Amino acid sequence: MSGESAFIDLLRGLPLHPGARGLEDDAAMLEVGGETLILTHDMLVEGIHVLLGQDPADVAWKLVATNLSDLAAKGAEPVGVLVGYMLGSDHARFVEGLRDVLAAYDTPLLGGDTVSGGPPRSFGLTAIGRATHVPVPSRSGAQVGDAIYVTGSLGAALAGFEAQRRGDQEAALPYRRPVPLLAEGRALAPVVSAMMDVSDGLLLDAWRMAKASGTTFAIDRSAPPIALPEARRDEALRWGDDYQLLFTMPDSIEPPVPATRIGAVKLRADDAPLVLDGTPISSPEGLGYSHEG
């Protein structure tokens, strides 16, 4: 067995800090001086997460925004970031994009490192946040009877990716420069039972959240709003890169932010973390983007 899940299983054999949450989440928690800090790290690789030859300013924006989205899913406010940069001939454009995104989200640069290599080039970033509510939301807290919600619409990033391929920079904006929902995450943190950002596709991320929670997510395929023609609904639910927030909360209360109810949390049945339009789905294969191989 190879790929991401096999590697993470090996890592679970190492001594883990309690704040690592068993490596079942997108971020770690660290208690420091009465504060709960949230730490997350993501990487982008040319030709996989961004297009080869994409504007380095957009690469810098996406690198920061994807990490801030992990903080948003924890209801955190950013403290700062550390950047890992693979050297090239386009430093100025990368720094320009970095300046834009850090200013947009009031996030300072703390430092980082540079290396030589590529192509393809890869870029890493560690984001540090401060929890605004404790306990910090996790993937694993969904309770039977909860309602399932998602913010925004899905498929906008796929539409933007296709626009980028044909050179329409304005229409490509959702793919080029995703928006981390930091304010929404802070508003939701006190009331959700579980929350994560949708980075790898709604269906795959819902499967993961349900699995971590030991429950089944029963989702109505027609319920999530999409930014693509209806005939492409399946693509919108699987493609990812939208960075909307997927969350569960008690059925008796209404979300404090605009969101769409897409299903309900059920008792685990047939070893299927996901039930889509009544069909149990026991394997994550084909549900979204995965680093398996």
pLDDT, greater one: 61 or 6: 61
Assess if CATH 3.30.420.10 describes domain 147-281. no
Tens digit of each residue's pLDDT (9 = 90 or more) over 159-195: 999 999 999 999 999 999 999 999 999 999 999 999 9
- Could you list the beta-strand ranges (E) of 87-146: 109-115, 122-131
Beta-carbon contacts of 259 under 8 Å, excluding residues fewer than 6 positions away, are: 149, 150, 151, 245, 247
Sheet of 260-267, strand order: 194-198, 244-249, 147-150, 260-267, 215-219, 274-276, 279-281
Pair 127, 40: CB distance under 8 Å: yes
Query: Which stretch of 22-26, 160-164, 188-192, 273-277 has the lowest confidence by average pLDDT?
Result: 22-26
The strand pair at 274-276 and 215-219 is best described as: parallel
Beta-carbon contacts of 7 under 8 Å, excluding residues fewer than 6 positions away, are: none
Domain with CATH 3.90.650.10 in the chain: 147-281
Q: How confident is the model at residue 138 (pLDDT cuts 50, 70, 90)?
A: very high
Architecture of domain 4-131: 2-Layer Sandwich (3.30)
pTM (whole model) above 0.95? no
Tens digit of each residue's pLDDT (9 = 90 or more) over 53-68: 899 999 999 999 999 9
Q: How confident is the model at residue 39 (pLDDT cuts 50, 70, 90)?
A: very high
Whole-number average pLDDT of the chain: 94
Domain with CATH 3.30.1330.10 in the chain: 4-131
Q: Where are the alpha helices (DSSP H) in the chain?
A: 4-11, 56-72, 91-104, 156-165, 173-176, 182-188, 202-213, 233-238
**Average pLDDT of span 237-254:** 96
Return the SS3 of 237.
Answer: helix
Q: What is the pLDDT of residue 293?
A: 45
